[in-house]
Structure 1
Amino acid sequence: MYISRLSLRNFRNFNSASLSFTKGVNTIIGENGAGKSNLFHALRIMIDDSMPRSIRFYENDFNRSIGDWAGHWIVIQIIFDDLDNGEEAQSIAMHKMADAENFDSTKGTYTLFFRPRIDIRRSLFELSEKEGKTQEELSEILSQISLNDYETVYTGRGNIDFSIDENYSSFVGDFESITFPDPDEERVDVYGIKMYGISIPNEFACTFAKALRDVEADLRSFKDNPLINLLRDKEKNIPIEKKSELESQVEELNSSISSLEEVKNVSSGISQTMRDTVGETYAPNVNIKSELPANMERLLQSLKLWVGDPDEEDYDGRLGELSLGGANLIYISLKLLEFERIKKNEKIANFILIEEPEAHIHNHIQKTLFQKLDKDSTQVFISTHSTHISSVSAISSMNILARGWKKAEVFNPSNNLQPNEVVKLERYLDANRTNLLFAKGVILVEGDAEHILIPILVKKVLGVSLDELGISIINIGSTGFKNIAQLFHQDRVKRKCSIITDNDISIVPLPEDDQNDDQYQRDCRNSQISGESRKQDLENFCENNEYLKAFYAQHTFEVDFLLAVNSLEIKSTVEKAFTNRVTIEKICSRIDNSDVATSGKEILRLAEKFGKGWFAIMIADNIDHCTYIPDYILNALVFACPNIKKSILIYIAKYRISQLIKVNFDDLNYTDIFANLSAYDDETEALDYYKKELQNDVLSEIMVLIDA
């Protein structure tokens, strides 16, 4: 038995979300604030018997995107698969076609509804039946609803997924059209059967290891200390005579300590001082006694962990001497051992929830820990924002959470992919590439030169990094973009992805008859044919996919960078790379040639001489705010990051002007422009002013592209 799906409606930052899970280890990845902790809290409400059954929800538990919460429902629903024939499991077995005698015994639902009480729902239904109903009448009813008018109901065997908008509108209500269902229609096929006399979480073994843990504090706590829980479980196995013997020894030790002459002297000294201070009548009697716990349970609670470094076998120290990462590993190990204790109690399902296990743990341990968590008959849920853990996670058992406007977005990266396609993806993704799963936008490039220079171009020209824009740039290392690009799709990861590649149009004229090609022309022709074929293939691949688009250099990255009026950067690189003045002048003369057959051929020669990656590093030293970003790269950048905040555009504007003040090469007064821009309180007006004053600036081009 395992959880195959979790559906959430209106719970915290989840407006309508459905997550699919598999047997074994499941990974929930996402940036900070994406909702990983909220998702775990929802899961624990449903399956963790340490959580209170009388769950109380508050106004801030409703998703903000719905506006006024009054009248809306919070729904948390779990779908189970592979149910056995036990009585507890069959209590949640899913019906087929609302036929109670013909149900699927291998699937089941367990649902929590936090909803208005039936009298409120009746009022809403009666209004929806009324002719000429108005929003004012609906608002009147809703304005009188408080949280005290809500009830929490657990049901089993429901057949409807309330994360689907149509279902929510039909069976909870449509607040726009003022249409609400009749609450007196039982509809157990929709809402399920109320759970009486059975607590589903009590039938599960569930252990939760929280994030941001203070291990020392947790191990001092009697309530949450996994060490004490393990020792308490073992206490019942200690023979009674052994307990009595130990307790007697402790009592004797207490008596011996208390009777020490030094202890008695301190005790009598305190008593005499009290009498001297308040007199014999009011002075209390004072004694000092040892209180080592004589009760076996309290004795076990006094035990503490001592740990040693694996490189120092002969030394043990207190937990506080251990690194944060080491202490974290101790905590997780105790929780896993605690789970094994719970698991033995013949539960119908076993679950482990671990929140951000990567805290303070270095890369190798993160990967090893993850790979060791796959346990028999146990479903594991791990939340993380570690690229190292995500790099060893199966795409097929991964859910991605992303921050949306007032609500979380949920992506399943393997949805509707063939098994062989999933395998290729999993083989490709490593710690350096899985950061694309956390990004707001992605740029895929084919080689080292683009991977090195594009981030530097953006940073030097615009004053912001790709990281600040939420964009990951991934070097595919070839032109085989499809394997990774297929992630970005309506069915999977709904994030914009730009593909940057070369069209490889020949830089030299080609004879009409290819039989007349010399060797260089033949190579150029073959590259051009390959480029045209690749472009057509990519265009077909990206067709009808709003999240994917390809952008092409007319020739190659190096040539198009030069043609974007960046000869100064190339010549500065040449000046530093060569010492012979004649050689430098000869190369610079070719670079300045207006015929691409000459200049393009020369820059490609330089790239081949130094290696494309190293040549890009050399050029990077000479890039500044005056460098031109080639149009195809600028378009790719805007596509991958379509929702740039106006505050970021203002930041870029101020950066651009501050840099232009330093090298004022035209007649514009950039100091005045900066002051005028800064005087605007309204960001839109400020940006309009910038576009008016600096019409040909790169930022103005970007704003035109994004229509800002």
Structure 2
Amino acid sequence: MTTRTGRDGQGPALDGAARELLKATYLRPLRDAEAELRSGRGSRLSQILAGYPAMRTQGEDDFDEETDSATTLVGILRRAERHIGNNTAVAAARDDINTGYLQKFSIGSDVLRGEIGVAGDATLARALERLELTLFAGTGQWTRHGLGYNNALFMAAELLLLGKSSFAPLLLIEEPEAHLHPQLQTRIMDLLRERAEAAKTTGAPPVQVILTTHSPNLASAIPVEHLTLVARGSTFRLAPVLTCLDEGDYAFLTRFLDVTKANLFFARSVAIVEGDAEAIVLPALALAVGRSFSECGVSVVDVGGVGLFRYSRIFQREGEQIPVAVACIRDRDLVPAGTSAEMRKRLKSSAEMTPQEIDAHVAALKEKDSGHVRTFVSDHWTLEYDLAAASWTMATLMHQAVRAAVASKSTWPTADRLADLDRMAQEEVSKWRENNVSLEKAALDIYEPLRMGRANKPIAAQHAARLLQTTPVTEDDLPPYLVAAFTYLCSEV
């Protein structure tokens, strides 16, 4: 078979020397590492050791019968064969076979005689095939370990061979996370990066490592610029110049893109939010209106209000865009009219701005949109206020959630206490409606404990998610900006 170079295999043919330089080691997924390291004819360990430089002199037979000594593997094997053959039990069995049976099978001058010895010839290949690699940990004694540790042992053996190559070797690993717990995944990634960068410090040929993974642990351990996303059958490198990330963005992501955020690399759609409360309640809201995030492959990434657009720029680039819908969901941060000065604090009231100024403010929040990245800004103020101001159904639910959050600040209420709180909050909302209190005024009263710190927003979100399991909600009950975000996230781009 001829291997050709170039696009579509139309270039010059590769000769034997070139193919030798392009040798690669491929570690397939779901490998049986324990079996690979076991002794036997043609074992992978024997192949690895055969290529190890220190083994080159071990094929010499230096067995000295007079001194009964040997130092090479072949010599040791020859010495072992001699001692096994001279063993009294082996000799007794051999003689019994010969005198008791084989001699009686002899015909004429064809005298049959058997010898018991080590199977195979005394060659380096046979010596290596008798070796196996076992794992010791902690106590210094052999113990049976799970597939994860044996997987790590197998990769160490492969790196041993690659690390001693005279040319730049290529290591292809498919799903290195197979059977590895998260801490071991991180350790292995550290080792692979160290070997890949060895040339910078030791001058040795580096190991070029290409791996595929579905593990956020591994993805978060690799600098973003070294990643390549695979989406809808196409690949998208995240190297500098190819994305809209600048040098400061790469440095920021290297420091702050952790395991919980790295799931964005594996999502069909990404919702980037500003806090824990949004990360808790938005999936519950989407599910309540029939747009399950899990069914649509949506990952929610909580960036804590810092660097929201640094994460979205991962998906922005010149030319062909990454086919992943990214929704940046954020607060407007303009308090509504009628808000007390104490609640307003440093935020500017929308009542103090002209409609044109409000439009300009919202447009400024969306100015970084491009490609498949869209910013969805709250219709009025914060998520909690907008939910309460969206409909009386949501006002009731949010009042129940906030009241429960106030009661949960010190200790979590019992189920009976929560039921009482939910009932009292519902009755209070009913009285507001009977007294013709406006929905906007009710939303301000509902939000006040959160704004003033008497209740915790993530805890209120937990209670809202709890209540959404039993409260019928439609899209008409939700703020329009959330309905638009859910529609975008759950649609194909």
TM-score by length of 2: 0.75
Q: In structure 1, how many angstroms separate the alpha carbons of the residues matched to 2:380 and 2:56?
A: 78
Q: In structure 2, how many angstroms separate the alpha carbons of the residues matched to 1:196 and 1:204?
A: 10
Q: In structure 2, how many angstroms separate the alpha carbons of the residues matched to 1:422 and 1:500?
A: 22
For the residue of structure 1 that corresponds to 2:169, the secondary structure is strand
1:207 maps to: 25
Matched, 1:364 2:183: yes
1:18-29 equivalence runs, <5 A: none
Matched, 1:324 2:111: no
1:133 maps to: none
For the residue of structure 2 that corresponds to 1:472, the secondary structure is strand
Q: 1:635 aligns with which of 454, 467, 484?
A: 484
Q: In structure 2, how many angstroms separate the alpha carbons of the residues matched to 1:603 and 1:285?
A: 101
Q: In structure 1, how many angstroms separate the alpha carbons of the residues matched to 2:308 and 2:51?
A: 57
Q: Which has the higher helix share?
A: 2
Contact 1:258/1:288 (CA < 8 Å) preserved in 2? Answer: no
What's the offset of the Cα at 1:523?
Answer: 5.3
1:21-60 superposed Cα distances (whole Å, 9 cap, x missing partner): xxxxxxxxxxxxxxxxxxxxxxxxxxxxxxxx535xxxxx
Give, as a single letter, the amino acid of the residue that structure 2 aligns with 1:413.
L
1:565-614 superposed Cα distances (whole Å, 9 cap, x missing partner): 22443455447448689975785457656413431122213434220000
What's the offset of the Cα at 1:232?
Answer: 6.2
What's the offset of the Cα at 1:632?
Answer: 2.0
Q: Which has the higher strand share?
A: 1
Q: In structure 2, how many angstroms separate the alpha carbons of the residues matched to 1:257 and 1:640?
A: 78
Matched, 1:494 2:323: yes
For the residue of structure 2 that corresponds to 1:372, the secondary structure is helix
Contact 2:173/2:210 (CA < 8 Å) preserved in 1? Answer: yes
What's the offset of the Cα at 1:263?
Answer: 6.6
Structure 1: gaps (5+ residues): 1-52, 56-75, 77-109, 115-152, 156-193, 511-516, 645-708
581 and 398 in structure 1: CA distance in 2 versus 1, 3 angstrom threshold: closer
1:127-154 superposed Cα distances (whole Å, 9 cap, x missing partner): xxxxxxxxxxxxxxxxxxxxxxxxxx5x
Matched, 1:335 2:335: no
For the residue of structure 2 that corresponds to 1:401, the secondary structure is strand
Matched, 1:410 2:235: yes
Q: In structure 2, how many angstroms separate the alpha carbons of the residues matched to 1:452 and 1:626?
A: 18
For the residue of structure 2 that corresponds to 1:295, the secondary structure is coil
Give, as a single letter, the amino acid of the residue that structure 2 aligns with 1:438.
F
1:316-346 superposed Cα distances (whole Å, 9 cap, x missing partner): 24xxx221000000110000001122x2x3x
265 and 535 in structure 1: CA distance in 2 versus 1, 3 angstrom threshold: farther
1:498-525 superposed Cα distances (whole Å, 9 cap, x missing partner): 1212224434437xxxxxx844456563
1:109-128 equivalence runs, <5 A: 110-111=5-6, 113-114=8-9
1:677-697 superposed Cα distances (whole Å, 9 cap, x missing partner): xxxxxxxxxxxxxxxxxxxxx
Q: 2:443 aligns with which of 568, 592, 600?
A: 600
Q: In structure 1, how many angstroms separate the alpha carbons of the residues matched to 2:358 and 2:458?
A: 21
Matched, 1:303 2:138: no
Matched, 1:240 2:89: no
Matched, 1:457 2:285: yes
How many residues in Structure 1 have an aligned counterpart in Structure 2?
A: 434
1:498-557 superposed Cα distances (whole Å, 9 cap, x missing partner): 1212224434437xxxxxx84445656358879876522222222x54443424242321
Q: In structure 2, how many angstroms separate the alpha carbons of the residues matched to 1:518 and 1:557?
A: 20
1:620 maps to: 465
For the residue of structure 2 that corresponds to 1:236, the secondary structure is helix
Kindly report the root-mean-square deviation, in angstroms, between the aligned alpha carbons of the 2 structures: 3.7
Give, as a single letter, the amino acid of the residue that structure 1 aligns with 2:2.
S
1:538 maps to: 365
Structure 2: gaps (5+ residues): 63-69, 200-204, 405-416
Give, as a single letter, the amino acid of the residue that structure 2 aligns with 1:457.
L
509 and 571 in structure 1: CA distance in 2 versus 1, 3 angstrom threshold: closer
Give, as a single letter, the amino acid of the residue that structure 1 aligns with 2:376.
A
Q: Percent of counterpart pairs with the same letter?
A: 20
TM-score by length of 1: 0.54
Contact 2:328/2:373 (CA < 8 Å) preserved in 1? Answer: no
Q: In structure 1, how many angstroms separate the alpha carbons of the residues matched to 2:223 and 2:462?
A: 35
Matched, 1:560 2:386: yes
Q: In structure 2, how many angstroms separate the alpha carbons of the residues matched to 1:228 and 1:581?
A: 69
1:4-31 superposed Cα distances (whole Å, 9 cap, x missing partner): xxxxxxxxxxxxxxxxxxxxxxxxxxxx
What's the offset of the Cα at 1:286?
Answer: 9.0
What's the offset of the Cα at 1:439?
Answer: 0.9
Q: In structure 2, how many angstroms separate the alpha carbons of the residues matched to 1:591 and 1:290?
A: 97
1:267-314 superposed Cα distances (whole Å, 9 cap, x missing partner): 888879x99xxxx99xx97968343445042123201223222x212x
Contact 1:395/1:426 (CA < 8 Å) preserved in 2? Answer: yes
2:65 maps to: none
Give, as a single letter, the amino acid of the residue that structure 2 aligns with 1:634.
V
1:459-498 equivalence runs, <5 A: 459-462=287-290, 465-478=292-305, 480-491=307-318, 493-498=322-327
1:10 maps to: none
Q: In structure 2, how many angstroms separate the alpha carbons of the residues matched to 1:633 and 1:503?
A: 13
Q: In structure 1, how many angstroms separate the alpha carbons of the residues matched to 2:284 and 2:325?
A: 21
Q: In structure 2, how many angstroms separate the alpha carbons of the residues matched to 1:235 and 1:585?
A: 80
289 and 370 in structure 1: CA distance in 2 versus 1, 3 angstrom threshold: same
What's the offset of the Cα at 1:201?
Answer: 2.6
1:443 maps to: 271
Q: In structure 2, how many angstroms separate the alpha carbons of the residues matched to 1:467 and 1:581?
A: 28
1:54 maps to: 2
Give, as a single letter, the amino acid of the residue that structure 2 aligns with 1:211.
P
For the residue of structure 1 that corresponds to 2:329, the secondary structure is strand
Matched, 1:569 2:418: no
410 and 472 in structure 1: CA distance in 2 versus 1, 3 angstrom threshold: same
Q: In structure 1, how many angstroms separate the alpha carbons of the residues matched to 2:75 and 2:426?
A: 97
Q: 1:251 aligns with which of 70, 79, 82?
A: 82
Q: In structure 2, how many angstroms separate the alpha carbons of the residues matched to 1:307 and 1:483?
A: 43
1:77-107 superposed Cα distances (whole Å, 9 cap, x missing partner): xxxxxxxxxxxxxxxxxxxxxxxxxxxxxxx
